[in-house]
């Protein structure tokens, strides 16, 4: 086997192993139900002036817990004003339980704006 072929085989093997180890690209499922739909308590990190994950789909009754891991202050404001956190310093958090189905876009009051401008995210709540 030529060195180039050995290198390609090794690289392919490593990529496949990483893919399998990371769940094969299948979204995480909360509560063992529909793939990609989360339940229970879901954490959204605020880091590097971004919400991570930016967009999530959750079941009704799920609690979302935002944690500011950034050095800058941030806030969480729903486009429709249905929820609004105070300014969160590093280490502070905001929690909200979503009891109604619907789509809830939100943004950082300092670094984003309604309609997905800048630092923003979306919570889709399904029954």
99 and 67 in a common domain: yes
Cβ-count burial 100-125 (b if 16+ within 10 Å, e if not):
eeeebbbbbbebbeeebeebbbbbeb
In a domain, 31, yes or no: no
Q: Please compute the mean of the pLDDT values over residues 102-108 and round it to a whole number.
A: 98
Per-residue pLDDT of 46-98, as tens digits, reads 999 999 999 999 999 999 999 999 999 999 999 999 999 999 999 999 999 99
Q: What is the mean pLDDT of the chain?
A: 82
Integer Cα distance of 39 and 29 in angstroms: 8
pLDDT of residue 38: 87
For the cut 70, the answer to whether the pLDDT of residue 8 exceeds it is no
Following CA atoms 49, 99, 37, 93 in sequence, which dihedral angle do they give, to the nearest 10 degrees? 30
For the cut 70, the answer to whether the pLDDT of residue 18 exceeds it is no
Q: How many CB atoms lie within 10 A of CB 3?
A: 7
Confidence of residue 34 (pLDDT cuts 50, 70, 90): low
117 and 69 in a common domain: yes
75 and 17 in a common domain: no
94 and 53 in a common domain: yes
54 and 15 in a common domain: no
Confidence of residue 39 (pLDDT cuts 50, 70, 90): confident
40 and 22 in a common domain: no
Residue 12, SS3 per DSSP: helix
Supply the DSSP string of 27-86, one letter for each residue.
PP-GGGSSTTEE-SEEEEEE-SSSEESSEEEEETTEEEEEEE-SSS-B--EETTSS-B--
78 and 42 in a common domain: yes
45 and 22 in a common domain: no
Nearest CA to 31 among 7, 9, 57, 5? 57
- Domain range spanning residue 21? 1-26
Residue 106, SS3 per DSSP: strand
In a domain, 104, yes or no: yes
CA pseudo-torsion sign 8, 14, 16, 18: negative
43 and 12 in a common domain: no
């Amino acid at each position: 086997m030529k060195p180039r072929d050995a290198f390609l085989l090794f690289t392919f093997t490593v990529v496949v192993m990483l893919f399998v180890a990371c769940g094969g690209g299948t979204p995480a499922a909360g509560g063992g139900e529909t793939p990609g739909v989360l339940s229970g308590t879901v954490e959204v990190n605020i880091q590097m002036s971004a919400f991570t994950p930016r967009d999530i789909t959750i079941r009704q009754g799920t609690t979302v817990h935002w944690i500011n891991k950034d050095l800058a202050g941030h806030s969480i404001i729903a486009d429709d004003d249905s929820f609004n956190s105070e300014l969160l310093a590093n280490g502070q958090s905001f929690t909200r339980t979503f009891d109604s189905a619907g789509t809830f876009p939100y943004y950082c009051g300092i670094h984003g704006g309604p309609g997905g401008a800048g630092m923003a995210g979306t919570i889709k709540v399904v029954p």
